[in-house]
Structure formats: structure tokens, C-alpha cells
Structure 1
């Protein structure tokens, strides 16, 4: 009788763990202002200060001249041991002129995204297959004594 009860509890526990593995976890990162907030901004009138008052500071800005502010939000679904999958992305870009007045407000979604090939500038280390000790010992013959003494 106790064995049957223990088996029922064990099978109920296994079923609960199996169902818990099927639950989708939803993670949202970032912040994008709502349409109501953006409707308060007037192109050609509002400035960086008024944008910051209405929608808050940006998550990112233009790299060189701070001429665009970016608000980015992403939603990921994670299921069991699978890799997270991005299911929603929103980006709001607010452009400014030299005086800091809004010139454009754009909204992009995940469907507007493009894969961009990054140009990586990486220097080859040229030490594949060479151990640390060999690198140290390999430099012993590359120095001359006159490199260590100044002409006095």
C-alpha cells in the first residue's frame, strides 16, 4: 500500500517536472516609448531636452555626433534547454539637427531587421601550435647587449 502511494507521488513528481520543462520563459530587455509618448513630440519644435523629459534618456545614441537617439526593446522566448529565440524587437530612432531639434522619428520592428556582415579588424596572433615556454625561449637570441646599455 505504501509502495503504491510512493509510486503515485513519484510519477506525479516526474509529470510535474516534465511539464515545467515545457514552460516558455519570456524575457524582455530594453525600453521603447509608447505611441502616446511619441505623439507628444513635435518634429521641428521639440529638442533633446524635451525628448528626455517626455520619453526619458536613450538607450544608445549616435556614435560620433549624437545626432540620433535610439530606444531598443527585445523580447526573447526560452523553452527548456533550447537557445533563446528573439520573437519581438522594436527600435525607435529620433534624429536631431545641429541645433538639437527633432528632424525625424522612426519606428522599426523585427521584420525590418537585416543581417549585417561585420568587418572585424583582428590581428592574427601567429602563434598557433607554439607553447608559452617556446615563445619565451624563442626570444633569447633576438637581443643584443648594446640594446640594454645607453651610450654614456
Structure 2
């Protein structure tokens, strides 16, 4: 049996680590309740409180009139230097009627449409593209001596 030299062993280790670093990494974000938990929810009977007890607090709730609970789970693939890519997304929507009773339970996936980026939107200020110096000196000439003396 022949022994490997230190240089050969180091080269094999470097190649193995390099190949391991090039494998895709998958991360799961969010939560969608399992099907067996969803089977316990009865439309027309269960309420918001009972849904929270059975499947947990939702990722997000309906903006208008608290119309529904939404549970979102995304699987993201990262590979080497490439930008992370959403490879699977599941959205579970539980809608309620005006009395807060479960109306419907629907599950959506990527096959139902496009990937919707889940990001926070930030409202930009009304200043537009006015630079700092322009803002700083913008009020020069806007005052008169009488404005200052009429205190």
C-alpha cells in the first residue's frame, strides 16, 4: 500500500473543499402549516381565534377589514457567486367573512403565477432630487428684515 505525500493529501483536500463550496445551498423562510393541521379547520365553523390556536399566528394578515390570514413559505437557492433565487413559494390564504368566521382556505404556489417579491416599500420624501447644498441655501432670500424685527 502506498502512502500519499503531504502535498498530494493537501491537494486532494483543497479540491474536495472547492467542490463542496460549489454546491447549491437551500434555505427555507417563513411557515405554512402542514396539511394535517389544515384538515382541523372547518369553513363556516372556525373563527380567527380558533385558527390561531390550530395553526399558529399568520405571517401576515389582510390589510382591508382584516379579510384574511396569509402564511408564506419560500425556498431560496444560493449557488456560488450567483444571486439567490426563489425556487419555491407557497402562500396559504385563509379568508374570513364579516363575522370573523372562516370562509375559505386556498393554497397558491409558483405554478399559479409569478414570484412576488416580499419586500418592504419605503416612501420617498417629496424632496426629489434636490441636493443637500440646494436645500441648505434654498431659504436664502426668503426672509426680509421686517420678518425678523416683527417678533
- What does residue 125 of structure 1 align with? 128
Contiguous gaps of at least 5 residues in structure 2: 117-121
Cα offset, 1:145, TM superposition? 2.9
Q: What TM-score results when the alignment is normalised by the length of structure 2? A: 0.81
List aligned pairs for 1:1-152, cutoff 5 A: 5-114=5-114, 122=124, 123=126, 125-127=128-130, 130=131, 132-150=132-150
Distance 2:147 2:110 in 1: 59
User: Which digits, 9 at most, give the CA deviation of each residue in 1:84-120, with x for residues without a partner?
Assistant: 111111010001011110011100011113367xxx9
| SS of the residue 1:141 aligns to | coil
Which one has a larger percent helix, Structure 1 or Structure 2? 1
Distance 1:52 1:134 in 2: 53
Aligned CA distance change for structure 1 residues 9 and 150 (closer, same or farther; 3 Å): farther
Give the alignment's Cα RMSD to 1 decimal.
2.5
